[in-house]
Structure 1
Amino acid sequence: MQQLYELLEHQPFLAGLLRLLFWALIIIVGIRVLRNIARNRIENVSFRYKTQKGIEVIGYVLIAILFLVFFTAGNIKDYSLIIGLFTAGITFTLQELILSIAGSFYIFAVRVYTPGDRIEINGIKGDVIDIDSIYTTIMEMGEWVSSDNYSGRIVKISNAFVFKGPIKNYSMDFPFVWDELNILVTYGSDIELAKKIVLDNSSELLSDYVGASQTKWGEMVERYYIENATLEPTVAITLTDNWVALNLRYITDYKLRRSTKHNLFYSIQKNALQSDGKVVLASATLQLLKIPEVDVRIKNNV
């Protein structure tokens, strides 16, 4: 022990480095303790999450300040080569980690996305359930599961990806999406009545979405360089070889695409069946025709 004290007396840089590591360890332990206290005593989920993240960010900032003070205090000239080599090695080795930490600050500063947002990043779609200093945690959607349903897998994506590719946010400024539904009717159907059934049912079922989206879209037009758009349900008619296709375009909540499409299909089908045969839903069919019988008689000329 005495030899260690003598070594530290003759090596002030080493002594300072040990003190730095000691205080950094104290701060890391403090972060864990305070996060556990916040988790156990704060009941509101949103406030608890923000408090825990705030404690974590403040702790890392304090550690960064300690390192900054340590390397800027005293005689830097004597250790400039050591510091330069150390910094270059750390930067090269931990470049992905450094990008991830920078990405976390960028995410919170610019508000690229927040917990609860539905995003698609690096080909993975899902709801953001956590953002820490290195990873964004996503509850995955899709893959082998159809529509916008959870697959059950939790995916961690490096925050560095915010600098490497596009990020699709379904809910940040405009929490609505446009969707389409094709209603197929036979050529013998009353097309005008079919169109009326589709528009009446969609307008009734989607009135709340249209009203709420108009306010949000107005804010979008004021904030971004974007043209106004039609928010009410619209129908476009297409003639095909087999049927008449009524393409319904409508707006809905980004979390309720599947249930909205189900309700529209059910309501339109119900009203079509009550039209006394004026509107008949079409389906792909195969009609086999019987070859007519041919009576061949050969007359012998004698």
Structure 2
Amino acid sequence: MAIHYSLDLKLFDNWREYIPFFKKLSMSLFLIAIIFLISKIVERVINSQTQTEGDRYNLLRIIRFLALISSLIVVASFMFQNLYAAAVSFGLISLVLGFALQAPIASFIAWVYLVFRRTYLVGDRIQIKKFRGDVIEIGYLDTSILECSGDYLENDRKSGRIVRFPNSLVLKEEVINYSGPEIPFIWNETPLQVAYTSDLQFVEDCLLESCIGDFMERYPHMSESAMQRWKPYVYFRINKFAWMEAVISYPVEPVDTTGRRNRILRRALPLLNAAPQKVKFPEGNLR
């Protein structure tokens, strides 16, 4: 702004024909600076007030996008005589690019859909097509996830690979979000083979004790009503190899499925093995 008003001084009379151009340029740069200053202030407010990581990420993306669009409008008004001519030129350019960039445009529209529909947020564990992992970035054109399972693992551990897929995929495929309405848990189950002659009540009690004990250690501040809501249960079914299966069904955070299963088994097996007269496991030469 100082440059803008300084151009009216007599010092610059020799460059009078260039002064309108430099005035317009300085005003455009000032407006762009104001736009990005406001966006930075809004970003600081969002970072301090928004608690959820996914919501904060989406809001920041929207603010940066609006700042970029506003700056482009200022640049267009600088290049053209008026906004009407800029709008017409922008429309013609958009029409040409629309045919050439159909896939990126579809992905951008899908990004807008993701922001407002909240199909998934940063930090969510999702599965789409054959991809499964934790969302680490939702770009304007693609989404990046930190893969779990994958080609080299048979559990839910993170594989260390980053998978990127176009946002337009969410408009064509089913999206499974592990961060569902029962946040932060999903339900998982672990089967344990026992003989038909086992004391089923004793087996059920041992599995429930192990599961509840691990849950209370993991979440010591959980309220009594929440504990009742997330109470595990055991059911029995016939195994195809002619053994019976005792299945413990329990709540677990999506990122802790393997660890929780291991902790439950480490607690339950010593209790079951300590009572061989009540619990019999499958035995044979092939096992």
Query: 1-side partners of 2:146 and 2:131: how far apart?
Result: 10
C-alpha contact 1:214 1:231 (8 A) present in aligned 2: no
Could you tell me which residue of structure 1 aligns to residue 254 of structure 2? 254
2:118 pairs with 1:111: yes
Identity of aligned residues (%): 23
Given the superposition, is the C-alpha separation of residues 253 and 214 from structure 1 closer, same or farther in structure 2, using an over 3 Å criterion?
farther
Give the alignment's Cα RMSD to 1 decimal.
4.5
Query: 2-side partners of 1:88 and 1:216: how far apart?
Result: 58
- Tell me how far 1:258 sits from its aligned partner: 0.5
- Of residues 154-163 and 260-269 in structure 1, the stretch that sits farther from structure 2 once superposed is 154-163
Query: 1-side partners of 2:227 and 2:203: how far apart?
Result: 31
C-alpha contact 2:144 2:162 (8 A) present in aligned 1: yes
Q: Give, as a single letter, the amino acid of the residue that structure 2 aligns with 1:181.
A: T
Query: 2-side partners of 1:214 and 1:71: how far apart?
Result: 67
2:212 pairs with 1:203: yes
Structure 1 gaps, min length 5:
1-14, 219-229, 288-302
Say how many residue pairs are matched.
249
Superposed, 1:155-174 pairs within 5 Å as 155-174=163-182
TM, length-normalised to structure 2? 0.67
C-alpha contact 1:119 1:169 (8 A) present in aligned 2: yes
Given the superposition, is the C-alpha separation of residues 68 and 161 from structure 1 closer, same or farther in structure 2, using an over 3 Å criterion?
farther
Q: 2:147 aligns with which of 125, 140, 143?
A: 140
Given the superposition, is the C-alpha separation of residues 75 and 64 from structure 1 closer, same or farther in structure 2, using an over 3 Å criterion?
closer
Could you tell me which residue of structure 2 aligns to residue 179 of structure 1? 188
Given the superposition, is the C-alpha separation of residues 279 and 134 from structure 1 closer, same or farther in structure 2, using an over 3 Å criterion?
same
Structure 2 gaps, min length 5:
1-20
TM, length-normalised to structure 1? 0.64
Given the superposition, is the C-alpha separation of residues 147 and 75 from structure 1 closer, same or farther in structure 2, using an over 3 Å criterion?
closer
2:188 pairs with 1:149: no
Could you tell me which residue of structure 2 aligns to residue 292 of structure 1? none
- Tell me how far 1:217 sits from its aligned partner: 11
Could you tell me which residue of structure 2 aligns to residue 95 of structure 1? 102
- Tell me how far 1:285 sits from its aligned partner: 3.7
Query: 2-side partners of 1:99 and 1:239: how far apart?
Result: 48
Aligned to 2:278, the other structure's residue is in SS state coil
C-alpha contact 2:125 2:134 (8 A) present in aligned 1: yes
- Tell me how far 1:260 sits from its aligned partner: 1.0
Q: Give, as a single letter, the amino acid of the residue that structure 1 aligns with 2:182.
A: F
Aligned to 1:256, the other structure's residue is in SS state helix
- Tell me how far 1:269 sits from its aligned partner: 0.8
Query: Which protein shows a greater Rg?
Result: 1
Query: 1-side partners of 2:188 and 2:224: how far apart?
Result: 14
Could you tell me which residue of structure 2 aligns to residue 290 of structure 1? none
